[in-house]
Amino acid sequence: MLDAVATTAFIHAFEPGTDSARKPLLLLHGTGGNEHDLLPLGRMVAPGAALLSPRGQVLEGTMPRFFRRLAEGVFDAADLRRRTHELADFIGDARRRYDLAAPIAVGFSNGANIAASLLLLRPEVLAGAALLRAMSPFKEPPQADLAGKRVLMLSGAQDPIIPATDAARLAATLTGNGATVEHRILPAGHGLSQADIGLLSAWLDQA
Ligand code: MLT
C-alpha cells in the first residue's frame, strides 16, 4: 500500500512494514528524483521493511534536491544545515505518525549527502546509514557521537561526480566520530550497479 501525502512538511511516500524484525528505511533520492524513485530499491534490499521516502524541498530548475548547491560539488553550507534540521524534524514527526523505530537511511548521491549531514548534525534520528555515491557535505565537519552507528559507503571508482578523495574524507570523518564504517569502492560510475544492490542487501540483513 502506498501513501503519498503532504500532511507533514515534506511530500512523502510511506509503505508500512510487514516484517517487524526489519528496521524501517528512510529513502533519500538523488538530484531530480522524487519520493517514488527508491521505493523499488527499498523493497528489493529489505523485503518487509517499512519505507519512508520524502521528496527534497529545494528545486534546482525543476529538479528536487535536499539542499542548495552553488555549483556541482559546492554546497550552500547554511542551507545544508537548515534543511538537515528540517528533515530531522520530519523524521521525528513521521516516526510518531507511523509508529516507527529509528530508520536506517539509504541515500543516493544528493540523498546520501544529506544522510551524511543528518549523521553529523542530528545523529539521534538515524539507526545507521547506507551512503551510495556520497561525498563530504561539510568543508569543516561538525563533531558528533556516532558510537554504535553502522554506516555502509559504496563509491564508484569511475564516478565523474564524486572525487575518490572526497568520499575517503567522509569515511574518515565518520570513523573518527565513532561510527563503524564499511567503505567499498566498486568498479562503477555514479549510477548504481548490481554489485551495489548485493552489498547493500547483505549489509541490511545484518542490521
Ligand atoms: C550533490 O549535489 O549533492 C552532489 O553533487 C551529487 C548530486 O549531483 O546530486
The beta strands (E) that lie in 16-168 are given as 25-28, 51-54, 58-60, 63-65, 69-71, 74-75, 104-108, 128-132, 150-156
- What pTM, to 2 d.p., does this model score? 0.95
What is residue 171's predicted lDDT score, i.e. its pLDDT? 98
Whether the per-residue pLDDT at 23 is higher than 60: the answer is yes
Distance 110 CA to ligand 1 centre (A): 4
What's the pLDDT band for 5 if we cut at 50, 70, 90? very low
Average pLDDT of the chain? Answer: 95
Active site residue 159: yes
* Atom number, ligand 1, closest to the C-alpha of residue 109: 6
Among residues 180, 105, 167, 102, the alpha carbon closest in space to that of 136 is found at 167
Residue 109 appears among annotated catalytic residues: yes
Give the pLDDT mean for 185-194.
Answer: 98
Q: Take atom 9 of ligand 1 and give the residue whose Cα is closest.
A: 110
- Ligand 1 neighbours by CB, cut-off 6 Å: 30-31, 69, 72-73, 109-110, 113, 161
**Is residue 196 pLDDT above 50, yes or no?**
yes
Higher pLDDT, 9 or 110: 110
Interval 122-135 mean pLDDT: 98
Chain segment 61-78, per-residue pLDDT in tens:
999 999 999 999 999 999
Mutate which of 38, 66, 72, 87 to test ligand 1's pocket (most atoms within 8 Å of Cβ)?
A: 72
**pLDDT at residue 62, as a whole number:** 96
Check 53, 109, 136, 155 and give the catalytic one: 109
190 is catalytic: yes
